[in-house]
Amino acid sequence: MNGNQPASTPDLQAILATLSQFTNPAPIPVAQPSETSEQFSTNCYDASQPPPMVPASQSLPAPKPQDPRLRPQSRAATASPKPMIDPATIITWQEGLRCLTKIAAQNAQFAVTIRGMIEDQKKHELRWYADRQALKHVQATHSSASAQAQSILQSLGSTAVRAPAGKQTQSEKNAELAEFDRKIYAAQTSMEAAMSGQLKGLGVPFFGTRPEMVLLAEERGSIAATSVSGPTITESELLALRRKIVGHLEDLYRD
């Protein structure tokens, strides 16, 4: 040791030993958390900070309530609404009536359209009836005039009484009236076809039935019918249901 070095100079080994106590502190014993507490610390605390010490004598704090929006909903709440039955597949009156009620409730213009169709049909039928009555009146008037002219000729002593020109026999009158009725029937058939198209477009049951579901009366129970999967209906049964639902619409929306 140098004699010029002060006696108060501390020993170098002692200083290093003292410093090593601060640079390498002894580890602090930490209780091992359970699996539950470890998971809870990951969810609820910052991962950069050490988890708080929990004494063994205390139970873990209850987890915070979850946001109600994040809770799993019950099956009843998440169940999708029952889809509406396709009107083209309905062949029974009860299902058709339920479907019609839903359509009328969902379509604000449904009642207006049906009333307009009923009014147009009424106007056409009244006009056809008036035209037919006018034709019968013309025939009756023409017969009366012919009979009066013939009576006058006989009173004058004419020995050769001839029927006035243009006089119709009863068979000719009947034929003329029958021809007029055929024209009315054709016009009525055309009108009904147009109305059926409108009802089909509105979704009214029995007017857009799938063709593969409709059978002829003689096909019921035959091999052709058994080859069709699903329920079927005959043409006559379908026609009866159409008339029934049209009558129901007229009762509901006739002014």
pLDDT per residue over 68-96, tens digit each?
Answer: 555 555 554 445 555 567 899 999 999 99
Distances (CA, A) of 231 to 90, 100, 227, 253: 9, 20, 11, 31
Q: Per the domain annotation, does 225 fall within a domain?
A: yes
pLDDT score of 221 = 64
C-alpha torsion 117→118→124→128, nearest 10: 150
Segment (H or E) for 214? strand 214-215
3-class DSSP state for residue 233? strand
Split at pLDDT 50, 70, 90, the class of 19 is: low
Q: Per the domain annotation, does 48 fall within a domain?
A: no
pLDDT score of 214 = 92
What gap in Å lies between CA 108 and CA 56, rounded to an integer? 70
Q: Which domain holds residue 188?
A: 87-153+167-253
Residue of 78, 84, 123 lying closest to 203 (CA atoms): 84
Structural domain count of the chain: 1
pLDDT score of 39 = 39
Q: Per the domain annotation, does 219 fall within a domain?
A: yes
Q: Per the domain annotation, does 104 fall within a domain?
A: yes
Q: Percent of the chain scored above 70 by pLDDT?
A: 54
Q: Per the domain annotation, does 79 fall within a domain?
A: no
Of the ranges 14-18, 54-58, 191-195, which is most confident?
191-195
pLDDT at residue 115 tops 50: yes
Q: Per the domain annotation, does 27 fall within a domain?
A: no
Q: Per the domain annotation, does 16 fall within a domain?
A: no
| Residue bearing the bigger pLDDT, 152 or 224 | 152
pLDDT at residue 234 tops 80: yes
Q: Per the domain annotation, does 175 fall within a domain?
A: yes
